[in-house]
Structure 1
């Protein structure tokens, strides 16, 4: 016999579905925001996505970035050509292997991005102010785990 009543199970399912729906809405809203930011920066969405990934995981090689972005290496070459030409990324020789290339974000362009996210960041600060440090730790853990689940699902496709 289960220790959870059927009404408790239904309530939990509703709450879980609410979380999933909120994540879907958040994903759509953030994708729209990122699309607007990429447009203001004169970048294609995929270029901006790759720039974000490089900012989070770099410096790394083009192959590793292509894998993170889920794009073909030939597509990545075009993305990197555009980002380098626009002054967003630098391609340097890998000090560990002079035959390899390592990519890094050119930090001097960062202020442009920060300015475009200023109102969103201020709103997030206000939202976070309503939570205790312990609650913020739980939210952070949840979001990291949700991101990992999304990555795993992407890899399975």
Structure 2
């Protein structure tokens, strides 16, 4: 009998437990961030999808509605309704695209962006504290893990949307 087999099996079980802890942690994080977004939305009278679109415009804007709909995973008609609501609320503006007069770009209203940033400041400060507990090399690894996780999550989302 191979004497390395019990050790290999033990290592495989340990690896599976660790992987499951990470998956459970990501699920918990997803729920907590959704709850936080819901609370923020309730304070500023925005729906969860509104907040997601504001975040995407803030991160990738100015952005065209078609590109925004794709990033948000929304049907263009649904996005039009969201943009109408956000524009009425003063959260975004639609402006002509300087490189294509037939197209528009969606831009965030900076004052409103600051209002949302203030609501997330507690989390941001707490995250600074969490990150302070890690070495730079560990933060690089965590950042890589999160980016790769977001990428595979996007692929899974796209795959479901196509089926």
Task: Provide TM-score, normalisation by structure 2.
Answer: 0.92
Partner of residue 153, structure 2: 150
Give, in whole Å, the separation in 2 of the partners of 1:115 and 1:60.
24
Query: Is 1:79–2:82 an aligned residue pair?
Result: yes
Query: Is 1:21–2:24 an aligned residue pair?
Result: yes
Question: Structure 1: which 5+ residue stretches go unaligned?
Answer: none
What SS class does the counterpart of residue 35 from structure 2 fall into?
A: helix
Give, in whole Å, the separation in 2 of the partners of 1:14 and 1:22.
12
Query: Is 1:34–2:37 an aligned residue pair?
Result: yes
What SS class does the counterpart of residue 99 from structure 1 fall into?
A: strand
Give, in whole Å, the separation in 2 of the partners of 1:111 and 1:95.
26
Give per-residue Cα distances to partners, 1:90-138, cap 9 Å, x unaligned.
Answer: 1011111100011111112122112111211111111111001111111
Give, in whole Å, the separation in 1 of the partners of 2:16 and 2:47.
39
Once the two structures are TM-superposed, the CA of residue 54 in structure 1 deviates from its matched residue by: 1.1
Partner of residue 140, structure 1: 143
Once the two structures are TM-superposed, the CA of residue 155 in structure 1 deviates from its matched residue by: 0.1
Q: 1:92 aligns with which of 86, 90, 95?
A: 95
Question: Structure 2: which 5+ residue stretches go unaligned?
Answer: none
Give, in whole Å, the separation in 1 of the partners of 2:87 and 2:116.
16
Partner of residue 123, structure 1: 126
Moved beyond 4 Å, runs of 4+: 1-4
Task: Provide TM-score, normalisation by structure 1.
Answer: 0.95
Quick check: which has more Rg, 1 or 2? 2
